[in-house]
Copies of this chain bind each other. A is one copy, B any other.
Amino acid sequence: MTQTVDILLTNAHILTMDEEFRQYRRGALAVQGDSIVAVGPQEEVTTQFTASQVLDCGGKVLMPGLVNAHTHVPMTLLRGLADDLRLDVWLLGYMWPVEREFVSPAFCRLGTLIACAEFIKSGVTAFADMYFFEDDVAQATAEAGLRGVCGQSVLKFPTSDSPSFEDALARAREFIQKWKGHPLIVPSVAPHAPYSTTPEILKACAQLAAEFDVPLQIHLSETAQEVETMREENGMPVVPYVKKQGLFEAKVLAAHCVHVDEGEMRTLLHARAGVAHNPSSNLKLASGFAPVSKMLETGLNVGIGTDGPASNNDLDMFEEVRLAALLAKTVSNDPTSLPAWQALAMATRIGAQAMHIGHLTGSLVPGKRADLILVDLNPLHNSPRFERDPNGPYAQIVYAAKSTDVTDVMVNGRWLMRDRQLLTLNEAELLAQAAEYARRIDAFLTAREQSVLSKLIALGGSSEEESYEVQVKVRLPDSAQIETALRSPELEVLYARHYRQYDHYFSFDDPAQGRLRYREDDLIDAKGKVTGVRTRLTLIGQTREGSFSGDILLSRSRYLAPAAQTLRFYREYFRPAEEKVVEKDRLRWKVKYKGEEFYINLDTIQRPEMGRFLEIKSRTWSRKDAQHKAQLAEELLALVGAAEAERITSDYVALA
C-alpha cells in the first residue's frame, strides 16, 4: 500500500551527505509538509509513496542545500565599496564611517533580501549571520523563506543599533524571546570578538544564550595580531581567555579560528563548539591559513562561511568550498587531504552541526527538514562525467561546478526557486533599491574624499584648533648664549623638557590640501631614557595667515588629533603624493617674560642634518596681542644673542 505525500522528487542522482555518504544514482525523495519522509533508490521510494506533485529531476544532482556558516548579510549593500586595503584602513576609513551614516533597519532589511536572493540562486539554504538590527535581518530572511541562525551583535562601543552594550544586550534578549521557536529562524547572540567586548559582556552573552538554549556566535583568533595582543594583555591565547569568561556555557559557533593551537582545538571540541572556516576572507585580508585539516582530525565540526560580502566579495559557497578543499592540500602539504566528499560535507551536514542546527538540516535523511537543491552537472564546464569513482560526483560539485549550475531550491518543504526563477523575491526591485543606496553612499564618500580635512574628520576624534601663534625662528649662531639668557632675572623658567621628535609630513598633489604631519614625541629624562611616547596628527594649512616685520610669523594649525592608528595606517588611508621625514632633538622651555608665556625650543635637526635652530613661540588671540608678543619675541631673541641671526620663515620640512 502506498502512502500519499506532498512532493515526490524522482530521477535524481541523490547525494544524501549523511554519515555514510550514501548516494543513489537513480534515486527519489519524498517530502511531507516541511520534512523529508523518505530517500532512497527510485524503485523503493516510488513503490512506497505517491504524491500530488511529482517532479522528474532529469538526472540532476539532488543534494542538501549548502550551509553558509558565517556571514554578515546586510553588507551586500557595501559590496565592492573599497578593496585591496589593509583591515584597519578598510574598517576605519570606509566601512565604519559608511555604516555609521547608513546602517538602519531599512538598510538591514534590503541588504538581507539581496543576500537571500543571492543565496537562493547559488544553492544556499541556511546561513549564520552576525550584524545589527538583527530583528530586521530575521524578518527579511523569513520573508525570503531561508533558514537563518541570526545573531544580534554586542560590542563594547556604541553601534548603529545600540548606544551602549547594555542596550545591545537588552536588544539581544528581546530578539531571542521574539524569534525562539520560529520554523526558519534560530535567534542567537553575537558578542563580536574578544577584543571588541569585555569579560563582562562575554559572560552576560553566554548566560543569555544558555538561558534560552540558543547558539552564541563570535569571531575568534582571526589574526595573529589578535592572538599576540591577547597573550601580552592576558598571558594566554584567545580560546582559554574566552573559556575563562564562561563563554562555553553556551553553544558556541566560532568564526575564523585561523590562529589556534592544538590545545585550543581540544578545548573547542570539549565545549562542543562549532567552527566556521572562511577561506576567501582569510586570504583577502591576509589573516593567514586556518589549520582546517587538523581541526577536522581533532573531531571539530568545521563549517565553511563566506564572511560578509563586503570582504569576499560575494556569497558564493561553491567558490568557498572549492577554495577550502584546494587550500587545505597545500597548507598540509598533502594533495589527498580534504578530499571533495569531505569538503562538501563541511558545506552541508558538518556546517549545520557547527551552527547547532544539525538536527534540522544539512543532509537528506528522513525526519530532517526538506532543505535541498538541484544541481545540473551537464554544462560543458563539467563534462564529461565518469561513473567509476564514488568520489567523482563530489569532485564534480567541488572542483568544477559553479553556483550558476543550481536550478531549483527548496527550504522547509517550500520551493524558493524553480528552473532558476526566484519565487519569493523580486530581483529587479531589490536591485533598483540597492542602486539608490549605492548612489547615496558614493556621494557621501566622494564628498568626504574631496579634501584631506574631510577624510581626517571622517576618522573621528579630531578637533579643530583655532589658536594662532606668534613665531620667530632663526638659525642659531654658535655665539648664542641660551643658558645665560635662561638664568637672566627677566625670565622665569616654568618648566624644561627634552624630546626626540619624529615628524612625517604627507603632502598632496593639490597644495591647497595643506600638509599632514604625523609626529611621534619621545620624552627623554635626565639620563637620556625615553619615559613617554605621544603621537599626534596635525593638518597644517598651506598658507601663513600673516607676518610681521622681522619675519615673525602668525600661523594656525587647523586640525589636531591624537594619532590612534599607526603611521602605516595614515599612509595607506591618505595616500600622500610625497612623504618627508624630519627627526630632531628638542630642548623646550616654557618661560614667562614680561608677564607673557613663551615657548623656547632649541632644535637640533638630525635627519636631514641641518644644524641648530631656535624657535620662540607664543599663542595669541588678537591682532593687538600678536603685535605685542611679536615685539617681546624680538627682545627675547636679543636676550639670547641671536638678534642678528638668519631668520627662517619656512617649516623644517620645507628646508629639508
Contacts and interface: CB of A to CB of B under 8 A. Distances in A.
Contact of A430 (B340, B380, B382, B392): B380
Contact of A386 (B76, B385, B387, B441): B441
A334 B288 CA distance: 10
Interface stretch (A126-134, A192-200, A309-317): A309-317
Interface in A393-409: 395-396, 399-400, 402-404
Given A286-B333, A380-B430, A434-B383, A449 B388 contact: yes
A280 interface: yes
A282 interface: yes
Contacts of A122: 381
Interface stretch (A214-222, A323-331, A360-368): A323-331
A434 B382 CA distance: 11
A79 B286 contact: no
Nearest to A86: B335
B285 A79 contact: no
Nearest to A326: B283
Interface in A101-139: 114, 117-118, 121-122
Interface string A267-285: 0000000000000101111
Contact of A384 (B77, B85, B87, B335): B77
A335 B90 CA distance: 10
A384 B435 contact: yes
B340 A84 contact: yes
A530 interface: no
Copies of this chain in the oligomer: 2
A336 interface: yes
Interface in A249-304: 280, 282-289
Q: Which of A76, A314, A384 has the most CB of B within 10 A?
A: A384
Nearest to A84: B339
Contacts of A449: 388
A82 interface: yes
B84 A314 contact: no
A581 interface: no
Interface string A423-458: 000010011001101100110011001000000000
A384 B336 contact: no
A48 interface: no
A313 B97 CA distance: 41
A420 to B, nearest CB: 11
Given A79-B384, A314-B382, A441-B386, A280 B84 contact: no
B85 A335 contact: yes
Interface string A580-601: 0000000000000000000000
A327 B378 contact: no
Nearest to A399: B313
Given A326-B284, A330-B287, A383 B84 contact: no
B314 A378 contact: no
Interface in A532-581: 572
A384 B431 CA distance: 7
Contacts of A438: 383-386
B442 A83 contact: no
B395 A80 contact: yes
A634 interface: no
B80 A385 contact: yes
A445 to B, nearest CB: 5
Nearest to A389: B82
Given A83-B339, A391-B83, A118 B431 contact: no
A280 B121 contact: no
A347 to B, nearest CB: 16
B431 A383 contact: yes
Contacts of A114: 380, 383
B84 A336 contact: yes
A381 B330 contact: no
A283 B80 contact: no
A117 B380 contact: yes
Contacts of A332: 286
A593 B399 CA distance: 64
Contacts of A382: 79-80, 314
B314 A396 contact: no
Contacts of A442: 386-388
A80 B396 contact: yes
8 contacts: A80-B399, A83-B389, A282-B330, A283-B329, A316-B381, A383-B431, A384-B437, A388-B449
Interface of A: 76-77, 79-87, 90, 114, 117-118, 121-122, 280, 282-289, 312-316, 319, 322-323, 326-327, 329-330, 332-337, 339-340, 378, 380-389, 391-392, 395-396, 399-400, 402-404, 427, 430-431, 434-435, 437-438, 441-442, 445-446, 449, 572
